[in-house]
């Protein structure tokens, strides 16, 4: 069985950063499931498909050409790495991710990504739906204000426009939508380790996660 670690949580909780660092430390593959929904939202926009047209979006999810090339994300051969990281892209992703047929269309794609030597899966339902048998599940969260501040700094570093007040509002609305959707709502798995990263450094969160990795896989040498 391929070892899998899931890291779930709301937008801006730091799960993507922790997932990348952990995958690099272990030498494992990484799955950024949120990028798939952001890519689908962008692909739909480019094709003029409404974000509530579930059947057409599910078909698009099965056929869109996606590639992850180190730090680059490609859609139909175009580098859209920055384009899918905007707040607009995140809001589109949250809308299409609420559609059952879309989630089903992407489910097997995500599961097939688990290959040797192991996988760190980052998302919102990795531990509850996609990899429910994963030996280690992390649910990472932080206050909405803290997450908005982190997101603001990330966008500014990339040279993108951002407004902190708007970010707090958008993050809170996205949390509400993700928690209350009918399929795969945002919630920790019953056996997940819940970590609140508010006020913690990346290093402190990583130390806590690595403690769990050592407990479950003592032969990993981390």
Binding residues: 9-17
Residues 6+ apart with CB under 8 A from 167: 87, 148, 151, 152
CA distances from 165 to 13, 73, 86, 95, 129 (A): 17, 29, 16, 21, 33
Distance CA 67, CA 76 (A): 8
Residues 6+ apart with CB under 8 A from 200: none
Residues making up the binding site for ATP: 9-17
Distance CA 23, CA 5 (A): 9
Which class for 203: exposed (0-12), middle (13-18), buried (19 or more C-beta within 10 A)? Answer: exposed
């Amino acid at each position: 069985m391929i070892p899998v670690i899931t890291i779930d949580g709301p937008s801006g909780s730091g799960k993507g950063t922790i997932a990348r660092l952990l995958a690099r430390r272990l030498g494992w593959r990484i799955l950024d499931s949120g990028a798939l929904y952001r890519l689908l939202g962008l692909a739909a926009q480019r094709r003029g498909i409404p974000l509530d047209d579930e059947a057409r979006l599910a078909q698009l999810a099965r056929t869109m050409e996606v590639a992850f090339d180190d730090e680059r994300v490609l859609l139909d051969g175009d580098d859209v790495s920055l384009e899918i990281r905007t707040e607009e892209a995140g809001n589109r992703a949250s809308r299409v991710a609420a559609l059952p047929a879309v989630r089903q269309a992407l489910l097997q794609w995500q599961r097939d990504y688990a290959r040797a030597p192991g996988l760190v899966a980052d998302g919102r339902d990795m531990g509850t739906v996609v990899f429910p048998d994963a030996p280690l599940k992390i649910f990472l969260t932080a206050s909405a204000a803290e997450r908005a501040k982190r997101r603001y700094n990330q966008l500014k570093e990339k040279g993108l426009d951002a407004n902190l007040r708007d970010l707090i509002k958008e993050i809170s609305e996205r949390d509400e939508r993700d928690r209350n959707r009918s399929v795969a709502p945002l919630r920790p798995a019953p056996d997940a380790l819940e970590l609140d990263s508010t006020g913690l450094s990346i290093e402190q969160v990583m130390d806590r996660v690595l403690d769990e990795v050592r407990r479950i896989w003592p032969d990993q040498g981390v």
